[in-house]
Structure 1
Amino acid sequence: MAELSKDPNEMSFLDHLEELRWHLIRATMAIVIIGCLAFIMKDFIFDTVIFGPKKMDFPTYRLFCRIATSIGIESAFCADELPFTIQSRTMAGQFSAHIWTSIWAGFIIGFPYVLYEMWQFISPGLKENERNNSRGFILIASLLFFMGVLFGYYVVAPLSINFLGTYQVSKEVLNEFDIGSYISTVRASVIACGVLFELPIIIFFLTKVGLVTPEILKKYRKIALVIVLILSAVITPPDVASQIIVAVPVLILYQVSIYISKIVLRKEMKKMKKDIKPQ
């Protein structure tokens, strides 16, 4: 009985795992290298970037203060300083914060390369037309991610810090935050917004595989609106203006995702009609 010939280009499951391992190793090495540079630049990373939203001369606070002043109302954004202190309550607290902040900085800055390594692993399994349709994926996904990071850093993080740092249940209770708690608030705001801004990319691929349609997105648009408003109310000070500032970009992204889903579905329908040949 003749043996079936195997495609020399076909990889076994173990070969795929080995390939994935090397992509992950290279991505991790990039994060570590950038993280080491961030570790060395301690003063800039902490004093300028991390603790920037704690200072009242932060651009976001100055902008809201000018807006409030121009319409003749008093605002907490015009205060001289935020009424809380940051401290380290454990022996290794500051060193651990330094290490982990450097690693997260390495991931954020090295995100395009991490994405490139993942794409290098996935793209060989795609068809030629799928690779052509996904051209520019790394650039667009990276731009969306960095836009989300900037939005999280300049909008969500300072609004959250200003609200939580000034909130008191009683004047008997002082706000003295641990350094890990403060950094996690900044990090969560930045990373969450970076991932959230990838929504159009996620919808693009979900539409390609048939899990999402424009009709489904439109059907659940009201539910999405409620969820966005609830999230905005949780992460921002309890005033309508701040909630709108956070909610509007997310709703715009959701609407953009609907249009992207329509375009993808239209192209898929044209492709199906072209593939169906008359008998």
Structure 2
Amino acid sequence: MTDRADAGKGLLREEGLMPLFEHLGELRKRIIYVLIVLTIGLVLGIVVAEPAYNYLMSQEPADTLQLHTFSLWDGIGMYMKIAFVIALVITLPFTAYQLWAFVKPALKPNEQRSTLKYVPLALIMFLIGLAFSYFVVFPLAFNFTRTVAGHLHLEETYGVVQYFTFMFSILIPISLLFELPLAIMFLTAIRIINPNRLRKMRKLAYFVLAAIGVTVTPPDLISDVLVIIPLVALYEFSLWLSGLVYKKQIAADAEWEKEFE
């Protein structure tokens, strides 16, 4: 009886725990790679933070402002915020590749090739989101806050850290939301979600996107609509892309079944 129990434990250890530990070890390795690249990106970000700062300060609305420091650490804080965004841009496609490499063993050869194409698109979509949030959403939000301050007859004194914190609190969430089409395509390709499930989640998705849009924009109807409509369109575009991937999967599965009949 003891021998059987030991054998059962050994079998469980061999077939259950070992694969689990292997997956955890692989995940740990991928995370370490991402952290290394993030660190390198931060160093590069610090190097180019000054020219990036000069560019941002030459654009509206910063070119009309006189920014101040309220702490000895504000200059360093500004450098680190800009460096972090630059590091995020550098690290994002590498993170997408590491995610692909982690799930690659579970994918068929054709699925591996199709999902690998998403890696460079991750950077492109993030940059599109960055441009949209910087040139459209951020000016709306900033001008609204200045209007409110003017109505209250408040003297405007802006800190450099507060300015960039406000900017990046808008830019980063919206830029990451622009990864939604790629994320949905990838999850569809590895058969975690499908367009039918996304259609059932449509109302919930609209509510979440609307909540995000209202949160990052001024509380006026025009600003909300200018942000919410692109986010909803992004979800519908993601749903359409998911449908394309799903149809290809069904066709591939049908061919595979014919081969083994």
Whether these two folds match at TM > 0.5 is yes
1:55 corresponds to: 62
Aligned equivalents of 1:248, 1:32: Cα separation in 2: 36
2:94 corresponds to: 113
What do you get for the CA RMSD once the two structures are aligned?
Answer: 3.5
Contact 2:214 2:224 in 1 (8 A): yes
* 1:162 lines up with 2:137 in the alignment: no
- Structure 2 residue identity aligned to 1:180: V
* 1:27 lines up with 2:34 in the alignment: yes
1:38 corresponds to: 45
Aligned equivalents of 2:173, 2:181: Cα separation in 1: 15
Deviation at 1:174, TM superposition (A): 3.0
* 1:268 lines up with 2:252 in the alignment: no
Provide closer, same or farther for how the CA distance between residues 29 and 116 of structure 1 changes in structure 2, counting only shifts above 3 A.
Answer: same
Deviation at 1:13, TM superposition (A): 4.5
Contact 2:210 2:228 in 1 (8 A): yes
- Structure 2 residue identity aligned to 1:31: L
Structure 1 gaps of 5+ residues are 57-80
Provide closer, same or farther for how the CA distance between residues 53 and 228 of structure 1 changes in structure 2, counting only shifts above 3 A.
Answer: farther
- Higher share in helix: 2
> How many residues are aligned here?
248
1:59 corresponds to: none
SS for the counterpart of 2:116 is: coil
* 1:258 lines up with 2:239 in the alignment: yes
* 1:134 lines up with 2:115 in the alignment: yes
Aligned equivalents of 1:173, 1:227: Cα separation in 2: 34
Provide closer, same or farther for how the CA distance between residues 210 and 42 of structure 1 changes in structure 2, counting only shifts above 3 A.
Answer: closer
SS for the counterpart of 1:110 is: helix
Deviation at 1:209, TM superposition (A): 5.3
Structure 2 gaps of 5+ residues are 1-9
Per the normalisation by structure 2, the TM-score is: 0.75
Aligned equivalents of 1:30, 1:183: Cα separation in 2: 24
2:4 corresponds to: none
1:92 corresponds to: 73
Aligned equivalents of 1:176, 1:255: Cα separation in 2: 42
Aligned equivalents of 1:118, 1:218: Cα separation in 2: 26
- Structure 2 residue identity aligned to 1:47: N
SS for the counterpart of 1:89 is: coil
Q: Kindly provide the CA deviation profile for residues 192-244 of structure 1, in whole angstroms up to 9, marking residues without a partner as x.
A: 12211111122223434555443443455455445544543443345554434
